[in-house]
Amino acid sequence: MRTIDTEKLRSDATSLSEYISDLNSGVNNLNTTITDNQDSFQGERSTNFFSTLTDDYITDLKSLVSDLESYQEYLSNIPKAYEMLDEEFANKEIDV
């Protein structure tokens, strides 16, 4: 019979949450750096470069953070659901 290691799942969810926090901080720092340096350069290539950074890369990184947050929430809910079902089935009587 297989069981779910609820403590490992909780630990993994916590680790993922910490990673997400670090990633989000890095994305915000990168976005700030881009914004701060945008006016330091002129020309069409510079404008295109910074537009690509903000419109594509930062947007994609923020989307990744959001996806990871959704997965982290899912991961942290698994132990709760498993324990609830385990308790519910443990209290059932089986007529034989």
User: pTM here?
Assistant: 0.80
Count other C-beta atoms under 10 Å from residue 41's C-beta. 11
CA pair distance 6, 78, nearest whole angstrom = 8
Q: Are 16 and 71 in contact (CB under 8 A)?
A: yes
Q: What is the pLDDT of residues 4-22, one digit of tens each?
A: 899 999 999 999 999 999 9
Instruction: Give, as one character, the DSSP assignment of residue 38.
Output: G
Extents of the domains making up the chain = 6-90
Distance (Å, rounded) from C-alpha 55 to C-alpha 12? 32
Q: Give the best-scoring range by mean pLDDT among 49-53, 64-68, 89-93.
A: 64-68
